[in-house]
């Protein structure tokens, strides 16, 4: 079992550019969540996808958007990048029907640096 995988591992962009981050959930998991972790802080919830729909969204602007594919993998897109978007982006997966019972499994993250 490969666990949760994310790509790329590191990324450098300039202000105003757009970026796409990718996540493959743990085998058998159908729910994917994205988190942003700034340096020295805890992760902040961006949004969650289930059955290819955005089910919940945190306090992030519309510049942050996502998608879930039929195979449950997911993408996070960020438009018009700002310096403050520099962070570690974490993807987490779980089995939707076990929500609240089973732990979420996190990937290794994508480190985004915006210059």
Partner 1 sequence: KQEVTQIPAALSVPEGENLVLNCSFTDSAIYNLQWFRQDPGKGLTSLLLIQSSQREQTSGRLNASLDKSSGRSTLYIAASQPGDSATYLCAVVNDYKLSFGAGTTVTVRA
Nearer to partner 1, 13 or 111 (CB): 111
The answer to whether residue 107 forms part of the interface with partner 1 (CB under 8 A) is yes
* Distance separating alpha carbons of residues 75 and 56, to the nearest angstrom: 15
Min CB(10)–partner 1 separation in Å: 10
Measure Cα distances from 13 to 9, 49, 81, 89, 96 in Å. 13, 26, 8, 14, 34
Looking at 33, 68, 74, 93, which residue binds partner 1 (CB under 8 A)? 33
Min CB(30)–partner 1 separation in Å: 13
* Distance separating alpha carbons of residues 35 and 43, to the nearest angstrom: 6
Specify burial of residue 16 (Cβ count, 10 A radius: 0-12, 13-18, 19+).
exposed
Does residue 76 contact residue 23 with C-beta atoms inside 8 Å?
yes
Choose one: 18-26, 41-49, 60-68, 73-81; the region binding partner 1 (CB under 8 A). 41-49
The answer to whether residue 34 forms part of the interface with partner 1 (CB under 8 A) is no
Backbone φ and ψ of 73, nearest 5°? -65, 165
Choose one: 18-26, 32-40, 67-75, 78-86; the region binding partner 1 (CB under 8 A). 32-40
Residues that bind partner 1 (CB under 8 A): 4, 33, 35, 40-45, 48, 55-56, 58, 88, 90, 92, 99-109, 111
């Amino acid at each position: 079992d490969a666990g949760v995988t994310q790509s790329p591992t590191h990324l450098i962009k300039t202000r105003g550019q757009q970026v796409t981050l990718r996540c493959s959930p743990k085998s058998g998991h159908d729910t994917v969540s994205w988190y942003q972790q700034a340096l020295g802080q805890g992760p902040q919830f961006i949004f969650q996808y289930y059955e290819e729909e955005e089910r919940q969204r945190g306090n992030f602007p519309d510049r942050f958007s996502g998608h879930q594919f039929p195979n449950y993998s997911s993408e996070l897109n960020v438009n018009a990048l700002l310096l403050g978007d520099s962070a570690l982006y974490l993807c987490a997966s779980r089995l939707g029907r076990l929500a609240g019972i089973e732990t979420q499994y996190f990937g290794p993250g994508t480190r985004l640096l915006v210059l």
